[in-house]
Amino acid sequence: KKEKFVFQGVGMLLSGDFQGEWKFDEARQSRFVFIGKNLDKKFLTEAFESCLVTRDLRFKVGDTVEANVGGFEKGTVIALWDDGNAYRIRLRKTKTEIWAPVDIDVYVRKPLMA
Residues 6 or more apart in contact with residue 38 via CB below 8 angstroms: none
Q: Quote the pLDDT of residue 50.
A: 67
Q: Compute the average pLDDT of residues 20-48.
A: 85
Contact 52, 81 (CB under 8 A): no
Amino acid at 6: V
User: Over the stretch 36-58, which tens digit does the pLDDT of each residue have?
Assistant: 888 888 888 887 776 777 778 99
Nearest by Cα to 19 from 1, 3, 2: 3
Q: How confident is the model at residue 5 (pLDDT cuts 50, 70, 90)?
A: confident
Task: List the Cα angle 108/43/55 in 5-degree steps.
Answer: 35
Interatomic CA distance for residues 83 and 95, integer angstroms: 19
Whether the pLDDT of residue 114 is over 70: the answer is no
Whether the pLDDT of residue 65 is over 90: the answer is yes
Q: For 95, what's the count of Cα atoms within 13 Å in the CB-facing half-sphere?
A: 0
Interatomic CA distance for residues 87 and 100, integer angstroms: 5
Whether the pLDDT of residue 78 is over 70: the answer is yes
